[in-house]
Every structure is written in structure tokens, then in C-alpha cells.
Structure 1
Amino acid sequence: MTEAPTPITGDHLKAWGHRPGPHYPALIDRANVALSQGADHDAARAMLAADLPPPTLGLQPVGAVRLDVNIRAEDPDEAKNLADVTATMTEVLRTPTAVAGAIMPDACPAGPLGTIPVGGVVSVRNAIHPGMHSADICCSVMITDLGPVDPKAALDAASAITHFGPGGRDQGNRHTVSLDLLDQFRANPFLQDGKMLHLAQSHMGTQGDGNHFLFIGRSRATGRVAMVTHHGSRGPGGLLHKHGMEVAERFRRALSPETLKQNAWIPADTPEGRDYWEALQVIRRWTKANHNALHQAVVERLRADPGDRYWNEHNFVFRRGDLYYHGKGATPAWDGYAADATGLTLIPLNMAEPVLVVRGRDAAHGLGFSPHGAGRNFSRSEHKRRAGNVTPDEMLAAETKGLDIRFHAGAIDISELPSGYKRADAVVRQIGDYGLAGIVDYIDPFGCIMAGDLPPFWQKGNRTRR
């Protein structure tokens, strides 16, 4: 009598090339049923061959993916910055999904080698990379024409209304989130947990810290006063990024273990990919509402008669044709990139320089993007080191003479002063030289509000102003 074959276990499946997962028990059951009906191990293996995972994807060779460089170095700091940016983008473009890449005149590194830099654009096929839009999802700028108002009154009104720093607004001091928008959060698997819903409500009308600002200036074209805000999606965006990276990491381990963790992706044609794409759109709507809440509150406090209001994002994922474009500190420059696109976008430079109003030129060598701001040639800590013994007050007075600069925390953050950024004239010149955008107007500065030098988040006790 022929001896029955030994039962098939998970070890057999691993030896045959199947990856462990929740589907394993069903595969084992099918294989053992086949054995009970007279099949041997070879026949059972052949039967399960259709369930084998696709081969894992390796990295693309260095230089195999096109990289357009829209930046040149004009001094030693810029030369080092350019070398670092090029090196990190070279590694990013080895990611299996990558189709093309570009870097803008304001580019600077934003993490370990292989992390998309600020001022970087990457187009990919059938993939959404949470690490390529960063935790500050939909970081964006909005402008409102406030009309013929007093700019100091506008800045005073904004100072009384805006909210910088960590956390959200206290109960009783919150801006309303529409019930329709909250329902969109509840309907999406990435956005429906209680913490997310709490952040969506408490962070409405807040701006965070870092380089986020509220700017008051005057249009050269019209002479009217304008307000510009810069911030992202705050806690809701940060939490979505965290959830997205967790899902992307599961796909990375299965699809491409060689890919750097920061470049993990969610396949766009999977249920998770479709849910994540829609979650991004909900976060975009929330972020626009966040800007609008601040702008409308200032308009009402001033009793102003406003003109145009428009906005654009520069940390996001955009779909064009069959490709997904990830802009990390880069702004779409093609007509109709979003339903609410006006054709005009904003490029802030630094607190002492105008905000540029531009019309993008959809340059192929920029993958259809234009710059988002001024960028940095060295880190915040290096900037502070170079300040030496010059006090923050002395730096502020020297770099922003005649301007009304306010720090919400009460202390000057010197890393946000103009000297912490690339030279504005060089960025503007290179925008023109590379044909990335045409300047339509300049919003000359009157003043701005920033978070300021905040105590570290781990500091216990009262968060006193420094």
C-alpha cells in the first residue's frame, strides 16, 4: 500500500515561494484537500502556483531615470547644496515606480540620503508615496485682496485671530468644521478614527510653527493690501501621513524590500490606494477650509470689502494622465491641475521680500511644476552657528528694517530671518532663466507673524515665552 504524503505546512509554502500572511491557512487547506484526493506534493505545488506573489522589484540603475536640474550654484554654499540635492534625488529615482524627476531653484535636502528634497518633483506609475508628500500634507499658501485697508490694522486683526504653535484651539475658541467635511472624514478608512476627528476640529484655524506665516503686504499692480497665509494640514495631515506610511511599508516589504523605507508606496490600483487617494483629497479640502477660516475672520474683523482670494498647494500628489506627480515644495504649473485652480500661484521668498504672484509655464524640464519659495542652502542649526555673538534683536533689526515682524511665541526665531534662506534675487533670476514661471505681480511686505522660538515639546511645566 502506497504511503500517504506528509501533510503540507507553512514551511512547504515558504519553500515553494509563497509569502507568509493571512491567506496561508486557506492555501494549506486547499493543498491538503488535494492530497486527500490522491494528489502528491508536486501536484499540490502546481495547483497553488497561480497564487504565487509576483517577483519583488529591485532598484533601478543609477541614471536610468531622467533628472532635470533647474538650479545652478553661484557660491560655495550653493555648490554644496546642489551636490547634496542631486545626490539624494539620484537615490530617490532608483525607486522602481519612478518615471522622471526634477529639482527647482529653491531645492534643498530634507532628510537622509534618498529622501525627496524640498524643491523636488517625482513622477511615478501606479503608486502613491506618502514619504514624497511628507507629513506636512498639502502645505499651501492662500491670498486675499483685503482692499484699501490700513495694513497695520490688518496685521493687528490677524494677530488677534491667528493661532501658532503646537496643539489646537481650546474648546470655545474653535472655528467650525462643516458637517459635510466631517462626514467625509468618517467615510474614509484612513480618516475615521476618533483622534483624527478630534484633530480635524481642534486644529481648524491654526498654523503650526516652522516656516509657516501670516503675511500682510501691498500689491504693486493695484496698490491694495493683501493677506497671505502659509501652512499645511496640521494634525490631520500628520496623522494621515503616519497611517499611509504604515500601509506603504507593508507593501514595500512584499513588493520591493530593496526600496528605501522613506520611498515606500501604496499601489494606486488597490483598495488601499484608492482610499488613500480619496483621503488626500479630503485633507486638501480641510486645509483649504483652514486657510479660509483665518482669512474670513480677518475680513470680518476689519469689515473689509475683499477682492480675489485664491490658493495653491506645494506638498501634495497630483494625477496627470496615467502618472502620479509628487511635489515636495513644488507647485503645479499647468492649467486645470485642480478644479479650483485659477492659473495664478504664489511664491513666498522671505519675510523681507515680496510674495510673487506668478503664472506657471508648464515646462517639460520642470515636469510641469514651478518653485514654491526660497529654500535654504544650509540647516537651521548651521545658520544659528554662523550668527555667532550677534543677538536675535540685532539680526532682526538689520534684516527687516522698516517692517512689522511679530513672533507669536514672543521670542525671535533667527532661523526664519532672511539670512536663513537662499538669496531671493538668485531664486527669482533662476525662475526666469529656466522658464518655470512668469511673474504677474509682487506683494511688497508690510509685516508678518510667525510662530517664533518655541520651547521644546519635551519641556515640562508651563510653556513660558522665551
Structure 2
Amino acid sequence: MAKIQIRGKELIKMGYPEGPAIGLCINLIPKHYKRHTQAQVDELLQAIIANPSDYAEDAVLGRIVEALVEPENKDPQIIDLAPQAKPYPIFGAEKIEAGALQQMETAMRLPVTHAGALMPDAHQGYGLPIGGVLATENAVIPYGVGMDIGCRMCMTIYPLDPQELEAKRSMFKKLLLENTRFGFGVFDKPMDDPILERAEFREVPKLRSLKTKAWQQIGSSGSGNHFVEFGIVEIMDEPNEFNLPLGKYLGLMSHSGSRGLGATLAQYYTKLAMETCNLPKQAQHLAWLSLDAEAGQEYWTAMNLAGDYASACHHQIHHRMAKSLGEKSLAIIENHHNFAWKEILADGKEYIVHRKGATPAGKGVLGVIPGSMTAPAFIVRGKGFADSINSASHGAGRQMSRRQALGAVTKSDLDKHLRTHGVELMGGGLDEAPFAYKNIHHVMAAQVELVETIGTFHPKIVRMDGE
């Protein structure tokens, strides 16, 4: 097999910033991926820069991801952390790994921190743990929001008998293939969308260079754990916000975020925050931008645009599918995570509430909490529990890193599990096998104070990145 060649100029063309990340790519990839072809390595490098968060947990590639947001220069004056962490509630503590707890402890020592909470799907990430909720005073933490800004769930319920999923399986598979794109796959003719005419693309310098990429990728989904799937919706609560009778319906559910737009913004503003907010090493990825500063206001504007862009991508997916089905929806449910909100908390003051891998669960707020490709998702109504900062989990949460899953799960294991649950998978990888995730029923049991279940969604035909 030919020797892998990686050149700095080619990496810069892909979007890698000049700095340590390029050196790590050149040194690490040929060593650890020597059995891959040049084309496979090029595809991997493009995937890393497009969706860095998908590779943050990998023992090798995670070093590259970390370097993407390392600061070039540091102010010698280090900002002190509080000697002790502020207390915070933990939901489902028995299933949360030590790394996530340590990250949350560090976040609760920041001088800008007001309150926090850890959701039952929590696991280790960068900066704020996935499943972490953090309320700060007039400060926004780009890595407290996360790499995939505004990532969200969107579900459409159709007036169709769910038995059609089995009777017309080939048709539904064809619809998924025709109406979705993942990873580097984009539509030959992207749909127009009002989001692309937003003034922010002209007013925020960093956004100007991203408009073309946003147009190219609109209506598509990311790689990793992102999906679009058909399944069976069961409404279990009556009366409900949808005015639907109890029973089963055919549904479409999607999970994805702001694509390359959000990832590029996260890298840029995290790096900027780390250059201007010099924290101790263990807290560097929690660097913040003050909302009194121009950079903080810029990030806030860009973050909100990225969230709206993520929503537009989902709406295009569901529009394409409804048109192909020739059906109008009975209801659409949408909720997002990896975002920051301005919210009034119990003391009557406004704070910046970061939900990284956590979803809003204010009183009466609807949302969808997915399990895995063979486990149900739950349609929920928030209870507005103050101790959780009006939040709940965003899913089941990983119990294995991607690398661990690749070493522990075989294709035959996955195929057998899918057959047992009557699920057909198109694309996907062993790193996304259901075994890599926590038991969603345990997660839901740990947050009965936070949300009530009004329905479920059982996946049947799942489309993810890959062949």
C-alpha cells in the first residue's frame, strides 16, 4: 500500500488553521492509519475539520481536535478559580463517569458561574461535559455551547398507518436515500431558504466567509450520531398539545446541527476566548467572552444565526419528505441543545444558561429525547424544575467512547441486535451501535422530576452517514 502523504498546504485548503493541529495531522495520521488508503485518509481529515466534536473522544484524533482550539498566545496573568466548586445537583449520578464529574467541578469554580446541573446522560467532553448545564453572569462560553451549535431534534407525525413501514419498506428506504444527505454529501441543487438572506451574513465578519458553505450544506445532516429515521409514534397522553387521539402514527425523526457553519464558528470564537481569558490549564476550554465586549456580542449573534440555520436544515429535510409522501403533518416537535439562552432564574436576575448536550425543560416546554437506533425516543413535556435550571437530558448519552465501541462491537453483533428489534440501518458505523449508549429507560427514570412522557417513537428504518 502506498505511503500516506499529508501536506500542510492541502490541510489549509481543507480549512485547518495554521498551527499545532497541522503538525499533529502530519505526524499522527500516517502512524496510526497506515493501513488506510490516501483517499480514506483525505476523507477522514475533511471529516475532522467539518465536525471536530465527532472525534473529540478518540485517543488519537482527539489530540488534533484539542489543538484546533488551543490559543497561540497567552496573557501571563492567569485568572484564578474559586478554591471550591459551588454545589450543584446531579441526576442519575450512579451512571456518570468520573471525567464528566471532574469537568463539572471545574466549571462550578469559574468566577462567572452562578449555578449548574448535570443531566443523567452526562459524559466527558471538552470544557463543559456533555449533559452539563451552566448559568453564568453576563458571559458566554463557546465551548460551554459546544462545537455543533444549535444541534437539535425534529419530529413530524403523519396521518398514516405505521403498518405501512413494513408493507412498503422499500419505498420508505428510497425516500430516505433521495431526501437526505450526510457528512460530505450535499444536494446537487440546494433549496433556497430565507436564512441565507439574513443580515448577519453581511454584518459579522466571520460569517461573511461562511455563507457559501452554508448554502452548499443546507438541508443536509452531519456525520457521527446524526440521523434521519422513520418509525412508530405512540401518543400516550390525552388531552395533548397536538389534539391527537391516543394511538399509533407514522413518524419521521431527525437529529443534526449547524454543519460546517457551526463548527467553524465554535473553533474561531473558542480560540479567541482562550487568547483573551487566560485560565488554568484544567479550565482552558471554559474560556468565556463577556457580553459587554464586541467579541462576545459577535459570538452571540453568530451563535443565534447558527441555531436558526440548524433549524432550517431540519425543516428542509421534513419538507422534502412530506412532499415525497404527499402528506401534510399532524404535528411537528422541535427542540435543541448545544446552545446558550438568556433566562431569568429563581432570584429574578438574568443569566446566560448554557446547555451542552442538555435540552430546555421549562414548564410546558415540549421536546424529544432520543435513545438509540433500537431504543425508543420519548416525547416529553417539561416540568420547569428549578434545581435542574429548567433542563433535561438530550438523549441517552454514551457509555462507551467511539474508540471503545469500535474495539468492543462486531458487525455481526450489531446486525443481530438490529434484526432482534426489527430495525433496518442504512449507513452508520460500529461506533454508533446501541451498545455504546446508556439505557434510555434508566436515563428517563433519573429525570422524572424534570419531564413527563406524553409519547414515544420507535425507530424502524434508520439512515446515517456512510454507505
Q: Compute the TM-score of the two structures, normalised by the length of structure 2.
A: 0.75
**Corresponding residue for 2:103?**
88
Q: Distance in 1 between matches of 2:441 and 2:306?
A: 34
Whether the 8 Å CA contact 1:399–1:417 is kept in 2: the answer is no
How far residue 258 of structure 1 moved from its aligned partner, in angstroms, is 6.9
Structure 2: distance between partners of 1:118 and 1:134: 9
The aligned counterpart of 2:391 is 369
| 1:205 partner amino acid | G
Match 2:177 to one of 156, 159, 163: 159
Q: Which residue of 1 aligns with 2:248?
A: 223
Question: What is the deviation of 1:362?
Answer: 1.7
Counterpart amino acid of residue 186 in structure 2: R
In structure 2, relative to structure 1, the CA distance for the partners of 1:132 and 1:310 (3 Å cut) is same
Structure-2 change in CA distance of 1:109 and 1:249 (3 Å): same
Partner in structure 2 of residue 145 of structure 1:
157
One-letter amino acid of the structure 2 residue matched with residue 100 of structure 1? A
Which structure 2 residues correspond to residues 43-442 of structure 1 after superposition, within 5 A? 57-63=79-85, 65-73=86-94, 78=95, 81-111=96-126, 115-148=127-160, 150-151=164-165, 152=169, 153-165=171-183, 167=184, 169=186, 172-178=188-194, 181-193=197-209, 196-221=210-235, 222-253=247-278, 260-321=283-344, 322-335=350-363, 343-387=365-409, 391-408=410-427, 413-432=429-448, 435-442=449-456
- CA drift of 1:257 comes to 6.4
> Quick one: distance in 1 between partners of 2:442 and 2:284?
34
The answer to whether the 8 A contact 1:182-1:197 is kept is: no
Q: 1:400 to 1:119 in 2, by over 3 A?
A: farther
Equivalent residue number for residue 462 of structure 1: none
Query: Structure 2 CA distance, aligned partners of 1:369 and 1:406?
Result: 31
Work out the CA distance in 2 between the residues paired with 1:415 and 1:444: 21
- Residue 117 (structure 1) shift: 1.1
Partners of 1:181 and 1:286 within 8 A in 2? no
Distance 1:282 1:179, change over 3 A: closer
Show the 5 A alignment for 1:28-39: none
Q: Distance in 1 between matches of 2:173 and 2:115?
A: 42
Take 1:300 and 1:393, find their aligned partners in 2: how far apart are those partners?
Answer: 36
Q: Between Structure 1 and Structure 2, how many residues are aligned? A: 370
Q: CA deviation at 1:384?
A: 2.7
Q: Cα RMSD (Å) of the superposition?
A: 2.2
Amino acid at match of 2:454: V
Q: Is the 8 A contact 2:132 2:358 kept in 1?
A: yes
Post-superposition offset of 1:268 = 0.9
* Fraction of identical pairs, as percent: 26
User: Is 1:443 aligned to 2:461, yes or no?
Assistant: no
Identify if the C-alpha distance between structure 1 residues 126 and 145 changes in structure 2 by more than 3 Å, giving closer, same or farther.
same
Matched residue type, 2:311: K
Q: Report what 1:13 is aligned to.
A: none
8 Å CA contact retained: 2:398, 2:437: yes
Large movers: runs of 4+ above 6 Å: none
The CA distance in 2 between the partners of 1:90 and 1:135, in whole Å, is 21
Structure 1: runs of 5+ lacking an equivalent: 1-52, 336-341, 453-464
Instruction: Tell me how far apart the structure 2 counterparts of residues 266 and 56 of structure 1 sit (CA, whole Å).
Output: 15
- Matched residues in 2 for 1:431 and 1:314: separation? 17
Q: TM-score when scaled to structure 1?
A: 0.75
Deviations 1:113-166 (A, max 9, x none): xx211111111111010011111111100011122153334443122210112x
Unaligned stretches of 5+ in structure 2? 1-74, 236-246, 345-349
Name the CA distance, whole Å, in 2 between partners of 1:59 and 1:250. 17
Q: Which amino acid aligns with 2:138?
A: N
